[in-house]
């Protein structure tokens, strides 16, 4: 998508299934292709052991179609988007109309929620102290240099 080339570090079979793992599924319009079924199965395995799975945009439709959004709060590009592209979707009662939602090791976002989704992933990983993360988010959401300097000062 957009000409971006991604070179994997490992195969799907090499992904460690442990609660310390995290799988990030990027947005795309190809998630309905059967060739992606193996990674969606891996997402299911990871969620079942308490690992984090993060999906944005079209990847949320693949999770929905696999039933992985049926029992967790989630979001996407709209409940109608999931219903349109995921015939097996049954999680409408847990759909939250927000840019990004984190629930029980699942972090989902619609395409407009990329920044908040990134923040929730960084928060889950514990990369920054909470104040540093907030400065990071404020800088990238506003572009205001005062947040950049606060971010640098907090590191």
> Could you tell me which residues come within 8 angstroms of residue 13 by beta carbon, excluding any fewer than 6 positions away?
none
Token code pair at residue 153 = 């000062």
As a whole number of angstroms, the distance between CA 22 and CA 46 comes to 8
Hey, is 127 helix, strand or coil? coil
As a whole number of angstroms, the distance between CA 99 and CA 130 comes to 20
Choice among 54, 57, 121, 133 that is catalytic: 57
For residue 57, indicate whether it is catalytic. yes
Query: How far, in whole angstroms, is CA 108 from its chain's centroid?
Result: 4
In angstroms, how far is the first alpha carbon of the chain from the final one?
A: 34
Catalytic (active-site) positions: 57
């Amino acid at each position: 998508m957009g000409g971006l080339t991604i070179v994997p570090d490992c195969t799907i079979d090499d992904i460690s299934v442990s609660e310390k793992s995290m799988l990030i599924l990027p947005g795309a319009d190809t998630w309905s292709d059967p060739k992606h079924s193996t990674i969606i199965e891996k997402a299911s395995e990871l969620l079942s052991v308490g690992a984090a799975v993060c999906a944005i945009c079209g990847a949320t439709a693949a999770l929905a179609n696999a039933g992985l959004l049926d029992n967790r709060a989630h979001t996407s590009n709209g409940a109608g988007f999931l219903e349109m592209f995921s015939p097996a979707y049954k999680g409408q009662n847990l759909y939250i109309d927000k840019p990004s939602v984190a629930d029980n090791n699942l972090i989902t976002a619609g395409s407009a929620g990329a920044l908040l989704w990134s923040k929730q992933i960084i928060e889950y990983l514990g990369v920054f102290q909470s104040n540093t993360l907030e400065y990071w988010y404020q800088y990238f959401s506003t572009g205001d240099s005062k947040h950049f300097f606060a971010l640098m000062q907090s590191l």
